[in-house]
Structure 1
Amino acid sequence: MESLHISPISKASANQRAGRSGRTGPGKCFRLYTAYNFLNDLEDNIVPEIQRTNLANVVLSLKSLGIHDLLNFHFMDPPPIEALLKALEVLFALSALSKHGELTKVGRRMAEFPLDPMLSKMIVASDKYKCSDEIISIAAMLSIGNSVFYRPKDKQVHADNARLNFHMGNVGDHVALLKVYNSWKETNFSTQWCYENYIQVRSMKRARDIRDQLESLLERVEIELTSNLNDLDAIKKSITSGFFPHSARLQKNGSYETVKLPLTVHIHPSSGLAQVLPRCVVYHELVHTTKEYMRQVTEVKPRDGNGAVRGRVYHYPYPPRLIKKFPETAPLPVGYFYPRVTVFPAGNGFPAGNRLLKNNFFPSKLV
């Protein structure tokens, strides 16, 4: 889950900042906290990013380079073993890895895109549904990293109405983003059109650049650029093919429960489906503010896509040789698994054989 936490800087960062200000000559450094705080509250160094982020893209890149023994790979800052397991699990669920832990044809295609694996899988799946033109536009809009809409304080009602125009028909946030991009394209990428619709010009230009890059990569992975704009079901199935691990079901109290983990979440107020509350949805990401919110939400049917709701659930117990190599896992109760619940595409087999990270997987049980 994406979240912003306010935390103290590290001692190394504090000393670096002091050094920057003293480059041109001697001086004194005044810190806005006590010496006790500096010595006792600040860590020596910040936690490396590889130890606190999603590793699915890193693992996919390593696999594409022919590096399979992830357990013994010499990372500069070794990530947690649990993070590697989670990344491998996600890639297997997306059909990027075979049951033997080898990169599949789908995985090789996915590795060509500089995107999150779920976005890459969505693009690869669009070849089957003949809507690659629409899907790369959606992927580009999702890759911006922030909302394309803005709300001036003195024109909030007008901005909200302009945004809702793209959500007419409860098409979902992904298709709404597609409508935004296509409408902008029809005006020959007009800056004035963005102002009139309360859309950020800079974000749209970045989305256009990303889309151009993705379009050039389609030829490399032998995906034909095809359009299927009138078939929203095909577009939604492509989206679900990549984001079925990010699926949630409506609860009686109006909240949602994620399928992969029993987490209570809500549709973000800015979503076009916030007042509709569909039975089943897939989402692009979770953000934590006052609550856990799903952003960029699309309604799906329970039997759509790659088993978003009807997938199989597996538990992952730690194998004995993992406990032997990592004694810190030993106190965990028998049957502990990471991640706790996983939704796999219906019809996929489960990896068998005594394999850990060298070949990615280990014996498990169906529950």
Structure 2
Amino acid sequence: MESLLVTPISKASANQRAGRAGRTGPGECFRLYTSYNYQNDLEDNTVPEIQRTNLGNVVLNLKSLGIDDLVNFDFIDPPPEASLLKALELLFALSALNKKGELTKVGRKMAEFPLDPMLSKMIVASEKYRCSDEMISIAAMLSIGGSIFYRPKDKQVHADNARMNFYMDNVGDQTNFSTQWCYENYIQVRSMKSARDIRDQLEGLLERVEIEVMSSSGDLEAIRKAITSAYFPNCARLQKNRSYTTLKHPQTVHIHPSSGLAQVLTRWIVYHELVLTTKEYMRQVSEIKPEWLIDAAPHFYQLKDVEDTGSKKMPRGQGRR
């Protein structure tokens, strides 16, 4: 889970920041903490990123290079063994690795995409559901993060109404990448240009892995099935108190208020990421059907996992929304 928490910087980072003062002209650095804090509360160096982030993409890349013994691999800053094991488990669940820990055909295709393993699996799975055209657009938009809409202080109501139109209707830019359309709908032009560039790169990589660019022609169910085939580990079920509980490792989570599904509260959803601010929020969520989870990962979920607790059991192979 990504978390936005206030934590002390390191001494190395503090010294680096102090060095910025006076670099191009006279300047001073004022530290808003005591000398005691500096000596006793700050670590000497910042924890390397490889030791505090998801290693899924790192492991996938190493496997694609033929490096199988990751435990004994000579990392500059060795990551925790638990993080390596979690990454291996995720890649196995996504069918990127077989039981021997070797790269599969699906895994080799996934390794060609410079994306998070779930995003790359979603694109590879789109071949089965014939929606690769939409899937690379979704992957490109997810890659630029949450910086799509903007909300000027003097036009907050207009910006909110424009955003609501995307929840209510199937609106989009039909005017050939119009900058004016972005301004009218309070959308960040720079973010959309970045997404367009990423999409063009992904389209080129589809040809490299021999996946045809196909459109679902408006079949939203096919698109949601392709998403579920990759994001099944990130599944949550609605509870009676209007919160959600994650399915595999039960944890109370909530749909982010900025989501179009925040007021709808559908029964089953998958999410792109969890972010901890005031609560554990799910961002970029999509409605699914529970039986899709079993179809996507029969080794990961069983029928009992997707049954509604305390209600009549579902007939095998069926689900309720």
Do both share a fold (TM > 0.5)?
Answer: yes
2:105 equivalent in structure 1 = 105
Q: Does 1:42 align with 2:30?
A: no
Cα-to-partner distance string for 1:295-320 (whole Å, 9 max, x where unaligned): 11111011115557x855xxxxxxxx
Deviation at 1:29, TM superposition (A): 6.3
Structure 1 segment 144-183 matched on structure 2, within 5 A: 144-168=144-168, 183=172
Q: Which runs of 5+ in 2 are unaligned?
A: 304-321
CA distance in 2, matches of 1:231, 1:189: 23
Quote the residue 2:195 is aligned against. Answer: 207
Letter in 1 for 2:200: D
Q: Which residue does 1:281 correspond to in 2? A: 269
**Are positions 1:238 and 2:238 aligned together?**
no
Q: Is the 8 A contact 2:151 2:159 kept in 1?
A: yes
- Return closer, same or farther for 1:135/1:33 CA change in 2, 3 Å cut-off: same
Asked if structure 2 preserves the Cα contact closer than 8 Å seen for 1:159 and 1:197, the reply is yes
The Cα shift of 1:81 comes to 0.6
Cα distance between partner residues in 1 of 2:177 and 2:2: 31
1:193 and 2:181 are equivalent in the alignment: yes
Distance 1:146 1:122 in 2: 19
Shift of 1:194: 0.5
Query: Are the equivalent residues in 2 in contact too, given 1:238–1:305 (CA < 8 A)?
Result: no
Counterpart residue type for residue 269 of structure 1: P
- How much does 1:146 deviate? 1.9
Q: Secondary structure at the match of 2:281?
A: strand
Aligned length: 303
- Do the aligned partners of 2:134 and 2:215 also contact (CA within 8 Å) in 1? yes
52-61 or 150-159, which deviates more:
150-159
Match of 2:59 in 1: 59
Residue 280 of structure 2 corresponds to which residue in structure 1? 292
1:228 equivalent in alignment to 2:216? yes
Shift of 1:277: 0.8
User: Which residue pairs with 2:9 in the alignment?
Assistant: 9
Counterpart contact for 1:246–1:283, Cα < 8 Å: yes
Q: Deviations over 1:102-133 (max 9, x none)?
A: 00000000000000000000000000011100
Contact persistence 2:140–2:195 (CA under 8 A) = yes
Residues 24 and 252 of structure 1: is their aligned pair in 2 closer, same or farther, counting only changes over 3 Å? closer
Structure 1, residues 222-277: CA drift from partner, whole Å, max 9, x if none? 10001113211100000111111110001111100001211100111111111111
Per-residue CA shift, 1:143-197, capped at 9, x if unaligned?
001231122223222222222222227xxxxxxxxx66xx22x211111100111
SS of 2:248's equivalent in the other structure is: coil
CA, structure 1 residues 25+249, in 2 after alignment: closer, same or farther (shift >3 Å)? Answer: closer
Tell me which residue corresponds to 2:142.
Answer: 142
Asked whether the 8 Å contact 2:5–2:277 carries over to 1, the reply is no
Residue 216 (structure 1) aligns with:
204
Q: Find the aligned partners of 1:200 and 1:25 in 2 and give their Cα distance.
A: 34
1:116-135 to 2 correspondence within 5 Å? 116-135=116-135
Letter in 1 for 2:167: H
| Distance in structure 2 (CA, Å) of the matches to 1:75 and 1:112 | 22
- Partners of 1:279 and 1:24 lie apart in 2 by 57
CA distance in 2, matches of 1:345, 1:223: 28
- Written as runs of structure 1 = structure 2, the 5 A alignment for 1:247-326 is 247-305=235-293, 307=295
Distance 1:68 1:29 in 2: 47
Distance between the aligned counterparts of 1:212 and 1:26, measured in 2? 46
Q: Give the direction of change, closer, same or farther, for the CA distance of 1:25–1:190 in structure 2 (3 Å limit).
A: closer
Are the structure 2 counterparts of residues 255 and 73 from structure 1 closer, same or farther at C-alpha, using a change threshold of 3 Å?
same
CA RMSD of aligned residues (A): 2.2
Sequence identity of aligned pairs in percent?
Answer: 77
